[in-house]
Amino acid sequence: MTSQTPPATATVAAATETVEQALPKVIAATRPPASGDQARYDAMAREFAANPTGNFTVQIQILCDPGNLGAAMRDGGSEVWFVPQAIGARSCYRVFWGHFATRDEAQRALGRVPAGIRDRSAAVKAVPR
């Protein structure tokens, strides 16, 4: 009498599919934006871009996730501002800290950027107009 057992590869594949179906879906680590965050941040970015102040600033990051932008605003306080920045088809934001009259003033301010938003690529930039 011959056994009708399926080949080992079929058994492994079936077991793998069953385990994968039982696993929870992976959820991104970042907090999804609250309803309206994206629209609110887009409006703020347009307002900042339309009414630039100062001649120089410190560019700290480019962020595409509204949750990360919200965290930058909390960590950087009232000195954080941003403008729209398209990266491919994505809507992102160029994030800045401070408004300064001179490049030297902005350069000295680099050390005062709060640690929570400081990025090693932070650099003094002319205020985008």
Q: What is the pLDDT of residues 45-61, one digit of tens each?
A: 999 999 999 999 999 99
Structurally, at CATH architecture level, domain 37-126 sits in 2-Layer Sandwich (3.30)
Q: Cα–Cα distance between 95 and 40 in angstroms, integer?
A: 15
Residues contacting residue 106 through CB under 8 Å, at least 6 positions apart: 56, 57, 58, 98, 100, 124
Q: What is the pLDDT of residues 33-46, one digit of tens each?
A: 455 688 999 999 99
DSSP 8-class letter at 112: G
Q: How many helices (H) and strands (E) does the chain have?
A: 4, 4
For residue 17, is pLDDT > 60? no
Q: What is the pLDDT of residues 65-112, one digit of tens each?
A: 989 999 999 999 999 999 999 999 999 999 999 999 999 999 999 999
Measured CA distances, 84 to 5, 78, 95, 114 (Å): 61, 18, 9, 22
